[in-house]
Homo-oligomer: A and B are copies of this chain.
Amino acid sequence: MADEITETSQTVAAGQLRAFIERVERLEEEKQTIADDIKEVFAEMKGTGFDTKAVRTIIRLRKKDQAERQEEEAILDLYKAALGME
């Protein structure tokens, strides 16, 4: 009970709340570490001479299956042709 705080007729289990919050904070820290690692890989790529913007597009395209990707490209080419974009 020492762990409970009451206010405006509501009670909150302080220990449980704190435990949840600390779990989220630890996970967010891990997520940030990985985000930093990804940034570093891109920096390394850039240092090696790769065009990282194109690499990001490639990574996005690889998430789609080949048929889906080819269909999307076909429609895009059709629209480009219609608009005279070479």
In the bound assembly, the distance between CA atoms of A6 and B23 in angstroms comes to 41
By the criterion CB–CB under 8 Å, are A53 and B78 in contact? Answer: no
- Classify chain A's interface size: 35 or more
In the bound assembly, the distance between CA atoms of A18 and B85 in angstroms comes to 12
By the criterion CB–CB under 8 Å, are B34 and A38 in contact? Answer: no
Work out how many copies of this chain go into the complex.
4
A5 CB–B CB distance under 8 Å:
yes
In the bound assembly, the distance between CA atoms of A10 and B85 in angstroms comes to 18
The binding surface of chain A is classed by DSSP as helix
By the criterion CB–CB under 8 Å, are B27 and A78 in contact? Answer: no
By the criterion CB–CB under 8 Å, are A82 and B5 in contact? Answer: yes
By the criterion CB–CB under 8 Å, are B38 and A28 in contact? Answer: yes
In the bound assembly, the distance between CA atoms of A70 and B35 in angstroms comes to 30
By the criterion CB–CB under 8 Å, are B41 and A58 in contact? Answer: no
